[in-house]
Structure formats: C-alpha cells, structure tokens
Chain A
Amino acid sequence: MNVGRAQSLGAAAINSAVNQSPEPAWHRLTVIGVVLTALGVLGVILGLVSHEDERVWSAYLVGFLFFLGLAQGGVILSCSYYLVQGRWMRAATHMRVAEAGWPFLFLAVLLFAGVFVGRYHLFPWIAYPIAKNAAWLNVPFMFSRDIAVIAIMALLSGWYVRLSRRSDAVRWASEPTTIEMPPAGLRRLAPVACILYIYVYSLLAADLIMSLSPLWHSTLFGWWWFEMCFFSAICGSALVAAIFASILPNGNAFAHGSVRHDYGKLVFAFSIFWIYLSFAQYLVIWFGDLPSETFFLVIRFWHQPWEAFSWLGPILVWVLPFAVLMGVRPKKSKATLGVVSALVLIGIWLTDYDMVVPSLSSTKLPLGWVELLVTTGFAGLFLLCAVPGLASAARAATADSDFREGA
C-alpha cells in the first residue's frame, strides 16, 4: 500500500491500526528483570539455608561465566564488525544489538565477589594446595588478577561503546557503498579490545574452569572458551533480531530478510568452528591416551551420571544449527532462527555447566531448583542491564530509513 496516496480519514485510521503494532513496553521487561533477579536472590538464600552450598556456588559460577561471556562477546562482536569493515552490517541491526549487554560487565566486577565468597566450595586447591602450582594458584593472586582483568575489560568496553554510538560511527555503518575506513578512534580501540579479550578470557578460562580440575590442562581450552563466548553473543544477537522482526512496527530494519540471513550464516559458521575446536581437543587427548588428560573427558563422556547429559551440549550447539540452518529459507525464517538461536544458547549454558560441575561432583548430577533459580537470577540481572541497549536498538531500527521494506 502506498501511504503517500490521499486516503479518507477512516481508511487512514484503519490502515494505521492494522499496519503498526505497538512499541514493546520496555518497562515491562524491566519489571520482569527485577522479578527474575529477586528469584535468583531467593534461590541463593534458600540454597544456603538448605545446606546446598556446593550447588549454589557452582550454579553461581556457571551463571557468572555464561552471562559474562555473553556480554563481553557482544562487545567484541561489535568490535569485529568495525575491524572487518563488512558493508553488510548496520548500526541499528548489528552494532547496537551486540553491544546491548555491556553494562553487565560493570556489574560482573561486583558479582565476582560471589565467586570469592564461594571459593572453598569451588576450588579444590584452596583446601588441598598443590605445591608445584602454589605460585599461580593461590587465593590472593588469582582473585586479584581476575578482578583486575574483568574491570579493565569493562572499562575498555564502556569506552568502546561510547565511541561506537557517536554520530560519525553511525554514519559510517549506514553507508555501505564505499571503502571508507571506520572513525579513527574505533580503528585504534577495536583491535586493542580484541587482543586483550583473547588473553583475558583465556586467563579466566584457565583460572575459573580449568583450575577446578587443577591436574588437567589443555592448551586449546582458553581459545575454545572465548570462541564459545563470542558464539553465544552471535546467537543472542540472532535471537534478538528474530524477535524484533516480529514485534517492532512494520518497516523496521530487522524485518529485512537479509539481516536474518546474515545472522543465520554467522550462527551456522561459528557452530562449525566450535565443533572443530572441540574435536581438536578431543582427538589429541584420545589419541595420546595420557591418564593425566583423559580423566577429564572420561568423567564427562564415559561414566554416568554425566554421560548422557554431556552430549546435550554438542547436540544443541552444533548438530542442531548445522542441520537446521544449512538452507537459505530456515535462516531467513524468524521462528526457525529464533528457536535455533535460543536452543544454542541453552546448549552453551549446558556446556559451561558440563565444564564446571563434573569437576566438583563427578558422581552426582545436581540439576534442580537451586540451579534453575540461581541461573534465573543471573538472567534477570542481564536483562536489566540489556533493556536500555535493546530499546535503543529497536528505536534505531524503526528509524533506519534505508531499510523500510520487509521480506
């Protein structure tokens, strides 16, 4: 329908009502976030009161790692958009969505205190120090270095997001037909952020996951984990794109099929990269057959109760997106892309859980109300942090005049 054509008042009103769905009520999301957070706090308190300390703190660590990775991965995803100078991306549909969770990084500096409080239930080398690793694995050094790097990354991310939202950066992202380089500030800061990210998140993987089994090591583990965090950000962005395409007013930038197609390709490609890195670790450990390495996998993939559970991660993170998103139509479908992205995110959480909890509880599979409530609390906090960014992305997408046509 051509809205420029003269219409009767009645017809115009009807068309307006039919063609424009209401703006999302962002304040409702905030309320939901508050409720979820409250449930999380309740879960922690009830868990501690019920003497389920180990379950509380292991769920806390898993939630912390998952949402920290999601938030930081999003900022790095936005950095990589500028670094590769891809002309298929736009500020509203890509950068703003990826950056939406950045306030959580500052909250994570505070939330890290919870890992410190629960340290005796998490890190076996505290109660049973390992002499040869004492220089690296000791409480003062480990916690001070980790909180320092999380804080540095949070500050850097905040600075980066501020630059990314300036008008020159938005203008650059909206002009796909030139080879003009991004603004100088972003060109300098984005590589620094990405390089620091790979080192910092490898350090966090070694300290907060690998050290839970202090006798085990894998040189690829840090790379594998920070790639999974990056992948979780891609899936989160794809999920948001699928949802926004459905709920935002007609003519928004997310309605364009090419946006979902691009996200679908990213989800597909990075799921393959994830399984490649997973297989690279598995093959070397299996072939070498060194007991100091194999025990980590044997607990998870060959012994109950973890055997069946551990396969959920690879199935959701790789098998599902690889099988479903191979064609063009599934990638462009809002429902398919949204559901697959959501399931991959669940799979990544399960994988984080599978990396952490079996190291602490090899003969029991603790998955119940404690884990659900604690994770819900983290989800609520993340939602509270992300709502302003998502609202900004939605407004920008609605106002993006070059992406009017839906597909």
Chain B
Amino acid sequence: MAVAVSSDLLPTRVDVDRQVQRSLAPGGLKYWLWVMLCAFVTALGGAFWTNQVYNSFDITGYGQPTMWAIYITNFVFWVGIAHSGTLISAILFLFRVRWRTGIFRLAETMTVFAVATAGLFPLIHLGRVWNFYWLIPYPNERSLQPDFRSPLVWDLFAISTYLTISVLFLFTGLIPDVANARDRAVGWRHTLYSILSFGWRGTDRQWRHFSMVYLLLAGFATPLVLSVHSVVSWDFATTQLPGWHSTIFAPYFVAGAIFSGCALVLTLAIPARRLMKLENLITIWHLENLAKIVLLTSVVMTYSYATESFTVWYTQDPIEMATFSQRYYGPEGYLFWIMLFCNCAVPLLLFAPRIRTNTLWLFIISIFVNIGMWLERFVIIAGSLATNADPSQWKFYGPHLTELLITVGSFGWFLMNFSLFAKFLPIVSMTEMKEGLSWLRHAASEVYPYRSAS
C-alpha cells in the first residue's frame, strides 16, 4: 500500500549506518563525567560492601526474623529487569513483531548487565562471601552435595544459564553490526571490532548460519523468560510463610519482571535517543508499543494484588489475615500504598494515546514503575518476614547506610556498564533496522497518527 511520508522523518539505509556510527564517536566531557560519576557511586558501594565483609552483618539492619531484606530485594529486582530484554529480543523476534527493531539491542544490553548486577547480590547477601562455591556441585572428600530440592540451588543453575544465553545472544546478534563498524574504524577501535566480529565478511554462507544460530538462540532464550523468574518466585512460594506461600507467585513474578523491565527500557531509551540523536531510529512508534506492554503488565499486576487480597479474605485464615493487615495498615503500610499507586494507578495514564506518545510522560511513568516494583519486592520479602506466623517474633526491618549505599552502588554499576557499552558498541541494530525500513516508513507516514509526537 503506497503511503505518503514526511521525508524529514524517514531514514534511508545510509542514514541508519551513519546515525548509529555517529553514536560510536568518542565521548565528550559530559559523557566521561557521567561515567566517572557512575564509577564513583559503584566504588562507594564496593567500599561499603568491603566494610560489611570485614565487620559482618552487625553493621546492617538485618536481624531475626528478617534475614532476607534489601539485598534479596535487589537481587529479585535486577533479575526481573533482565527478563523484558529477553522478551523483546527473543520472544518478539519469534513472533515477527516489527517494532522490536529499534530497541531490542538496548534491551538485550540491559538484560546482560542487569543479570550481572543481580548475580552480585546473593554474594553480598552471603556475608561469608568466600563460601559461595558451596552451592556448586563440585567433587569433595565428604561427598557433600547441594540440596537439589531447594529453589535456592535451582536459582544458581537458572541464573547462570540465563546469563550465558543472554551474553551469547547479545554478542551473536552484534556480529554483523560490529563488522560494519570495523570497516569504518581506525586504531584500537578497529582492533576491538575485528576481534568481536569474528572475521565476518557478510557472505551468503555466513548469513545463512547467522540466521539459523540467531533463531536457535531465540528459541533457547524464550523458555528462560518464564522459567528463571518462576524459579526465583519459588524461593518464596515454596515456603510456608504467610504472605509468601501463594500459588500465583510464578506468573505474578514473571509479569512483574516484564513490567519493570519494559519500564527500565523506556527509562534508558528515552534519554539515549535524545543524547545520541537517534530519534528517527528509536521512534515514538517503538516507544508507544513498549508502553502498551507496560500497561498490559500493570493490569496483570493489579489483578494479582486483587486476587491475593481476595483469597486471604476468602480463606479467613487468622495468620494470613494478620500478615496482610500489617502489610496494608502496619508501621510500613505506607510502602504498600506507594507501591500500589506506582504500579496500578500511574500506569493507567497509558490508556491515553497522548500520554503514550509523549516521551516526557513516558519517562516519568517509567520512573514511578521502577520505584513501585522495587517497593513491591521489598514489601513482599521484608514485610512478610517481619510479620511471620508468630507475633512474638515480629520486628520490622529498617535499612542502615550500608545497605542503602550498596543498593545505590548497584545502580551505579549497572549504569556505568550500560553507558560504556552504548558508547563503544552499536546500541541500535543497523542490520535489522535496514531490514525493517519499510515498517519505519509506515511509522513515519500518515498511517501512524502520532508520527510527529516527541
């Protein structure tokens, strides 16, 4: 179907290459100041972790009964963030979704660094971090094995598999683009890109193999989206703790993961497209469709909260009711209501097309969602432990400076790695953008009514 196109909105194949290559130009002062700020925050978090290892958990707010709190919250948060990257890059690839092309590389990058960040927290949480290898089934003279019936052991295998597949998927997809960058680069960049492109020449045979491998990796990655966060949810649901023991946890956590992850993709993509001048590659069309996924998963989260609350009331179990009463109206009840506002009320704005296609609103809403989802994990984990089945043990958790700065440090670590990747490797896939230019043409045409939104 012929469509009228606003030519100033429509990139050509040459434009795609040029704009993405331009984003790889050496960073200016502002960029390096930003990276150094992130590095400083990371170092601050690392310093406090070192202090914690040296001085033990006495310097934290941890204490019975809340022995899982902010570190496990961060772990679940970051693993959840990672899932939407795989959803966008692998699952939407298998579904042949057109709007995926502009943002999937950014989302995949987010996944890899989010999983890497998440993997730090079981170590931070261990205290005696040097004993971490006890989780691995290695041969030993006493024939000791980890408890394979424990979801905690499943976590080790699930997350290490997820990290492996995510890294493979990201770097496989990068090969043609890095080869493209190699052909224009000089100096050490040329050397780096030559190594990462694995001798790619763009022959028919290489493209055939590439397509097959990419399809297979997408197929491997797809079940991981469901399985990994389901396993994480079973860390909690397989216990008998009121507030944790609930059959809905697996799909509820997966939906929450996609919710928070897609929101963080928006948080990253909106400034990235502005700063790297990629507005006509990462268009409003891409962002609007991502916002619809955020809205859908918000609806699922609202349903999950409603179902949990209803079931507690339906059973009239006094212990469950006491736990949930504390969750809603206890000393930390305000966190629950903030969470509800951020996860259920704020995303309702996305029903309005004008909000869905306004980048400032999308950015603000994405921040609210990320806050809400972090609070959700905290309310479930620390809140339920604090009000367990025995009221004589109840004690609410309050984080100390150590936990707070390690948490902030993890954000610095993530943003530092993401920023470095975005400056040295192509954050938008040149290959797939050029393949999908006809759809970008439609997004820039009169067919798409919000094409001029910003």
CB of B245 within 8 A of CB of A288, answer yes
CB of A288 within 8 A of CB of B447, answer no
> Which of the 9-residue segments B231-239, B331-339, B403-411, B414-422 touches chain A?
B231-239
B143 on the A face (CB < 8 A): no
Q: How far is the CA of A179 from the CA of B237 in the complex (A)?
A: 42
B452 on the A face (CB < 8 A): no
Q: Give min CB distance, B176 to chain A, whole Å.
A: 25
CB of B248 within 8 A of CB of A223, answer yes
A136 on the B face (CB < 8 A): yes
A220 on the B face (CB < 8 A): yes
B69 on the A face (CB < 8 A): no
CB of A195 within 8 A of CB of B247, answer no
Q: How far is the CA of A283 from the CA of B315 in the complex (A)?
A: 20
- Given the complex, which residues of B lie within 8 Å of A191, measured CB to CB? 351
B262 on the A face (CB < 8 A): no
Q: How far is the CA of A284 from the CA of B248 in the complex (A)?
A: 9
If A178-B442, A290-B240 touch, whether A195 touches B311 (CB-CB below 8 Å) is no
A252 on the B face (CB < 8 A): no
B3 on the A face (CB < 8 A): yes
CB of B250 within 8 A of CB of A280, answer yes
Which single member of B249, B307, B311, B439 contacts A284 (CB below 8 Å)? B249
A402 on the B face (CB < 8 A): no
A177 on the B face (CB < 8 A): yes
Q: Which of A133, A219, A276, A287 has the most CB of B within 10 A?
A: A219
CB of A281 within 8 A of CB of B443, answer no
If A178-B1, A288-B239 touch, whether A222 touches B307 (CB-CB below 8 Å) is yes
CB of B251 within 8 A of CB of A280, answer yes
If A179-B285, A284-B237 touch, whether A217 touches B311 (CB-CB below 8 Å) is yes
CB of A199 within 8 A of CB of B303, answer yes
Q: Which of A178, A284, A288 has the most CB of B within 10 A?
A: A284
Q: How far is the CA of A222 from the CA of B314 in the complex (A)?
A: 13
Which single member of B1, B315, B448 contacts A217 (CB below 8 Å)? B315
Q: How far is the CA of A180 from the CA of B240 in the complex (A)?
A: 50
Which single member of A195, A206, A287 contacts B314 (CB below 8 Å)? A206
CB of B238 within 8 A of CB of A133, answer no
If A179-B285, A179-B448, A287-B238 touch, whether A133 touches B316 (CB-CB below 8 Å) is yes
CB of B439 within 8 A of CB of A132, answer no
- Given the complex, which residues of B lie within 8 Å of A181, measured CB to CB? 449
Q: Give min CB distance, A12 to chain B, whole Å.
A: 36
If A179-B443, A277-B251 touch, whether A202 touches B307 (CB-CB below 8 Å) is yes
Q: Give min CB distance, B21 to chain A, whole Å.
A: 27
Within 8 A of A (CB), among B207-247: 226, 230, 234, 237-240, 245-247
A362 on the B face (CB < 8 A): no
CB of A180 within 8 A of CB of B250, answer no
B98 on the A face (CB < 8 A): yes
Q: How far is the CA of A250 from the CA of B360 in the complex (A)?
A: 54
Q: Give min CB distance, B215 to chain A, whole Å.
A: 13
Which single member of B96, B240, B316, B442 contacts A179 (CB below 8 Å)? B442
Q: How many residues of A contact B (CB 8 A)?
A: 34
B432 on the A face (CB < 8 A): no
B355 on the A face (CB < 8 A): no
A175 on the B face (CB < 8 A): yes
A360 on the B face (CB < 8 A): no
Q: How far is the CA of A218 from the CA of B98 in the complex (A)?
A: 38
A169 on the B face (CB < 8 A): no
A285 on the B face (CB < 8 A): yes
- Given the complex, which residues of B lie within 8 Å of A195, measured CB to CB? 299
- Given the complex, which residues of B lie within 8 Å of A202, measured CB to CB? 303, 307
B308 on the A face (CB < 8 A): yes
A112 on the B face (CB < 8 A): no
- Given the complex, which residues of A lie within 8 Å of B439, measured CB to CB? 179
| Majority secondary structure, A binding face | helix
- Given the complex, which residues of A lie within 8 Å of B234, measured CB to CB? 283-284, 287
If A179-B285, A179-B443, A202-B307 touch, whether A220 touches B248 (CB-CB below 8 Å) is yes
Within 8 A of A (CB), among B93-112: 95-96, 98-99
- Given the complex, which residues of B lie within 8 Å of A220, measured CB to CB? 246-248, 250-251
CB of B230 within 8 A of CB of A136, answer no
Q: How far is the CA of A8 from the CA of B51 in the complex (A)?
A: 96
A221 on the B face (CB < 8 A): yes
CB of B247 within 8 A of CB of A218, answer yes
A107 on the B face (CB < 8 A): no
CB of A221 within 8 A of CB of B448, answer no
If A133-B316, A179-B447 touch, whether A280 touches B303 (CB-CB below 8 Å) is no
- Given the complex, which residues of B lie within 8 Å of A193, measured CB to CB? none
Q: How far is the CA of A217 from the CA of B314 in the complex (A)?
A: 8
If A179-B442, A219-B247 touch, whether A284 touches B1 (CB-CB below 8 Å) is no
Q: How far is the CA of A219 from the CA of B308 in the complex (A)?
A: 6
- Given the complex, which residues of B lie within 8 Å of A133, measured CB to CB? 314, 316
Bitwise interface map of B from 280 to 311 toward A, beta carbon under 8 Å scored 1, else 0: 00000100000000000001000100111011
CB of B251 within 8 A of CB of A179, answer no
Which residue on chain A has the smallest CB distance to residue B351? A191
If A179-B442, A180-B447, A277-B251 touch, whether A219 touches B307 (CB-CB below 8 Å) is yes
- Given the complex, which residues of B lie within 8 Å of A178, measured CB to CB? 1, 3, 442, 447
- Given the complex, which residues of A lie within 8 Å of B239, measured CB to CB? 287-288
Q: How far is the CA of A36 from the CA of B246 in the complex (A)?
A: 42
CB of B251 within 8 A of CB of A284, answer no
- Given the complex, which residues of A lie within 8 Å of B315, measured CB to CB? 217
CB of A175 within 8 A of CB of B1, answer yes
CB of B247 within 8 A of CB of A280, answer yes
Which residue on chain A has the smallest CB distance to residue B234? A283
Q: How far is the CA of A180 from the CA of B248 in the complex (A)?
A: 36
CB of A288 within 8 A of CB of B238, answer yes
CB of A132 within 8 A of CB of B316, answer yes
Which residue on chain A has the smallest CB distance to residue B285? A179
Which residue on chain B has the smallest CB distance to residue A273? B226
- Given the complex, which residues of B lie within 8 Å of A276, measured CB to CB? 226, 230, 250-251
- Given the complex, which residues of B lie within 8 Å of A284, measured CB to CB? 234, 237-238, 245-247, 249-250
Bitwise interface map of B from 410 to 454 toward A, beta carbon under 8 Å scored 1, else 0: 000000000000000000000000000001001100011100000
Within 8 A of B (CB), among A279-321: 280-281, 283-285, 287-288, 290
Which residue on chain B has the smallest CB distance to residue A199? B303
Q: Which of B96, B248, B316 has the most CB of A within 10 A?
A: B248
A198 on the B face (CB < 8 A): yes
Q: Give min CB distance, A170 to chain B, whole Å.
A: 16
Within 8 A of B (CB), among A17-69: none
- Given the complex, which residues of B lie within 8 Å of A287, measured CB to CB? 234, 237-239
Bitwise interface map of A from 203 to 230 toward B, beta carbon under 8 Å scored 1, else 0: 0001000000000011111110000000
Which residue on chain A has the smallest CB distance to residue B302? A195
Which residue on chain B has the smallest CB distance to residue A130? B316
If A132-B316, A133-B316, A178-B447 touch, whether A285 touches B442 (CB-CB below 8 Å) is no
Q: How far is the CA of A218 from the CA of B447 in the complex (A)?
A: 46
Q: Which of B249, B308, B315 has the most CB of A within 10 A?
A: B315
- 7 inter-chain pairs at a CB distance below 8 angstroms, sorted by A residue, are A88-B96, A133-B314, A177-B1, A179-B447, A219-B307, A219-B311, A288-B245
B-to-A contact residues, CB < 8 Å: 1, 3, 95-96, 98-99, 226, 230, 234, 237-240, 245-251, 285, 299, 303, 306-308, 310-311, 313-316, 351, 439, 442-443, 447-449
Known contacts A132-B316, A178-B3, A280-B251, then 4 further A-B pairs from the complex at CB < 8 Å, ordered by chain A residue: A86-B95, A179-B98, A276-B250, A284-B238
